[in-house]
Structure 1
Amino acid sequence: MWSRLLRVDRPGIHDNFFALGGHSLLAVQLIARVRESLNVEMPLRAMFDAPTIARFAQLLIEARNASNKSPVPPLKPIAHKGAIPLSYAQQRLWFIDQLEPGNSLYNISAMYRMWGPLDLGALRKTMNEIVRRHESLRTIFRNDEGQPVQLIVPKLELPLPVTVRTGLSPEAREDEIKRFAREQALQPFDLSKGPLLRVSLLQLAEDEHVLVIILHHIVGDGWSGTLLAREMAVIYEAFTNDRPSPLPELAVQYSDFAIWQRQWIQGEVLDAKIAYWKKQLAGAPPVLELPTDRPRPAVEAHHAAIVTYTISQKLLDRLHELSQAEDATLFMTLLSAFQLLLSRYSGQEDIVVGSTVAGRNYSETESLIGFFINTLAMRTDLSGEPTFRELLARVRQTALDGYAHQEIPFEKVVEELQPERSLSYNPIFQVLFGLQNVPRASFEASRLKVQREAVHPGTSIFDMSWFAFETDEGLLLRVEYDTDQFEETTIVRWLGHFQKL
């Protein structure tokens, strides 16, 4: 298990999981494989308390001797006809869509520039094969006497419109690509009609194309984008060579997960996990009082821009060393520095920051396109002038406790807490921070040079969202910020201060 997940040949029994490149997402996947193979439920914290094979094996033996079998029912295909309940996360987005129909805020975008001989027929056939495989991409959402339900369309033919813009100068070509991608990203979906996946092609020359893919968040997430790219590459390669798709049929579908989640997370299970979040967030400040360049609007308009910044590989290596010395992950170390930065700027010692987790805690969900991602509210007490190591210990504890209760969708936490509501800011937290370690993949094909590029429609859900990516050059920071409140120069200055911290 360690070897496959870490991609390390023959790891030693005393090698540290995190020193070998492990992180919280891989730890979740390892726990899922233990559950699946041995029917033993191990807490995620066990990976942090016993990060070597030898120590983890001892905890595993103790758990098996204690008959600590998994209390979680298995995720299996469920026979169903007609209307299906929504998952908790889907339900939240559906209600938002009812309040703000035609909103493109929850569109997920990807763009691929392609040079070479494109087989348009094979590409169209590829996209429809993926739609056939994943029920989520054939799902629509209806109102059934005030309650949302999802319906799966048995057969759906996804169109692939082609816009031709040939003969443009290099500068005009770049402008047209940006215009085309932004136009596609801002076009809303109708959840009641579908399809909730949109694929469009821009032809710039006989051998130059731009493929733009837009997916509504209610049927997908960042991990789904990686799966989509991976399946596109495999299936397109097969179809261009007159071969059938080599991908096996999926064992379960997202609708099975939605039903399973509703059946499991209820009653005592729901009450116990909600109790943790109620206690954890009791008395938390409703708003992070950051100094802004302009007053916070009475109603959020979600206008946004992006700034990027790179921290050197040398400094990143030192951060890894500190993390390992403190039995923490790189994410925990970065979050500690980030919450310290926010405390310095806001003057507050009680800081709540949102952070996303993949939400795919069961191996059966790893190959599904669907909305699994969850957001955890990371609340840290910075009172008492702690040293950085002491602060990191607090953040580590908060993160591990949050991971242990991550099955409760954030939407359900908000519903139960009933926090102070305002059209001016998001409930619970207004700033997001994440280290992106979700597997990345790009659409690749023989005879084509493919380059993935970012699409930013100029919208943002939060005041600020900071995302960190490990690259060959160091740590890339990508900050999406609300332009109604902040100037670019302010965000750039904060990034410099973050690096100093």
Structure 2
Amino acid sequence: MAQAEVNSLAKETGSQDLPGFSCETLSQSFQRQAARAPECVALQFGRERLTYRELDERSNQLARHLRGFGLQADNLVAICFENSFELIISMLAVLKAGAGYLPIDPSYPVERISMILDDANPSVILTCEALAERVRQRSGGSVVCVDKDSQSISVLSSIGLNEIAGFDSLAYVIYTSGSTGRPKGVMVTHRNAARLFTATADWFNFGPSDVWTSFHSSAFDFSVWEIWGCLLNGGRLVCVPHWVTRSPSDFYQLLVEDQVTVLNQTPAAFYQLVQLEEAGAVEALKLRYVIFGGEALNFANLRPWFDRHGDQMPRLINMYGITETTVHVTYRPVSARDSREEVRSLIGIPIPDLSIYLLDGELKPVAAGDVGEIYVGGAGVARGYLNRPELTAQRFTRDPFADEPSAVMYRSGDLARIVEGGDLEYLGRGDLQVKVRGYRIELGEIEATLADHPSVSQAVVLARRDGPGEPRLVAYIVGKPSASPTAHDLRDFLAKRLPEHMVPYAYEPLEAFPLTVNGKVDRAALPAPREQVRATTERASAPMEREIEEIWREVLGTGSFGFDDNFFDVGGDSLLLANVYGLIRRGLKLSFPITDLFQFTTIRGIARHLSMRAATTTSRADARERAQRQRAAFGRRREFHGRDQS
């Protein structure tokens, strides 16, 4: 496919050209689905279930409560919940009330939450009592705790409300990393989101028999595809608890037990399931589709999966996407042959109502086979950035290839080329933005935050791949005179301000940065992080410490750590911690929640905690056994006294 052929897809910029396209808002489409099958299960969390009728009625009641705050179209309501019924009910209620929802991940540091809320200035904040303090660190905006106010909300009418939002009103705003240290909110309309599901319907044919997982953070745009892709097609949405998302074995079991048919995963998360099956955990899955997004897919890593499952059931689909163009941009089925022969990162063809242009620095199409920057036009292009008109003007520009004079295209910063057969080959970023474990990260935001540390003069952050596994963030630091910040200090400083996935694992001090001939930092010349050489006299003080040390060594691929080092400071991340969890449970025959490993992050700390837990369990078992013997003795005594009295 030549560039001209790719450009021809720009002719389909108008959503009215799509067969069966409906100008409904997301909430209208949901209500139509709820009316069609009111008693079908819409949501599931563990063994609890909520039907479409119940979800419709409860969201109507909460929407009425929100209307009491005088909401108008394009107002924002922040929602801060763990993955739960309340999260989905609140999303739907905000849309029915006429506003757009602003998802806040409760795991974010309070400082970042406050930054987002101050920038967006939502009219109302929906949350629960347990999380209320995380969103109170700002002035303005009413905080509604849906659990605390449940009684007053439940007496409101559950009948549907009149729609006040239009097709071009805001549906949601999702914040992404910002190069200046300030995250930016992407404004997505009902039109942008609704057409995504219509435009891809012929490829997937989703329906009421499908079971989806709500796996990803609501502040990650993959959640839009999961939640609305399920509910607008009448499927059952299984809300996955946070701790299960961090445990591949428990998540795999959920897929089996709940008979999930549509699985949406970042490649890094799915590789964990592939490795789990390689270790012997293979059970009957009901999957029809596994849909990848969020980062580049390495086809070779899927070879063990295809060897067991083939490539027809389930079908594996690679979808490149951008928050600013509404979740997904391209579509490409992945075959078993790809896993054996293909080494390129192929992302397929554009969604029918989107156009992709590969342009040079002068916005001219590059020749077939040449590398160009990806620009995306069409019905998925978002409205722009909230409160950032200058940045919006830089990244959302007029589309010179579309028939409509008002058409806009988005400059992605990603590089690609067209290969034989018409596939697009993704070649990575053309700027300082990277993707790590599915998260899009502006390295400049981490650098700007580090520069605020009182002992840091300059900071540069890279995503390096110096060994097997996913890229890892490394910070290079030039300290101020007479200052020598430690890695521990810097990590603690960042952890209070940035999400976990944006905190580097290594901190390399330098006297000065290497420079190019143009005087810019020569990032290619920055050294690999040095491994700390530890004293050989350090020894484990307990057998469990030795066993956990071996597990760390296996997972991290190195032995350069001490028994009192933090797992996240020596190269670990949440996905690798899930591997540690599985190996400890299997190897040490211990049962405990994965959240314990986030609390006890050193070898000595984990071993001490698990030893105490095991001792407590044994003590309780002994106590139960003694109690049973006592009850039996009391029973015999009762029988004896009974016979005596007779």
TM-score (norm 1): 0.29
Kindly name which structure, 1 or 2, has the bigger radius of gyration based on alpha carbons.
2
Q: Which has the higher contact order (CA 8 A, sep 6+)?
A: 1
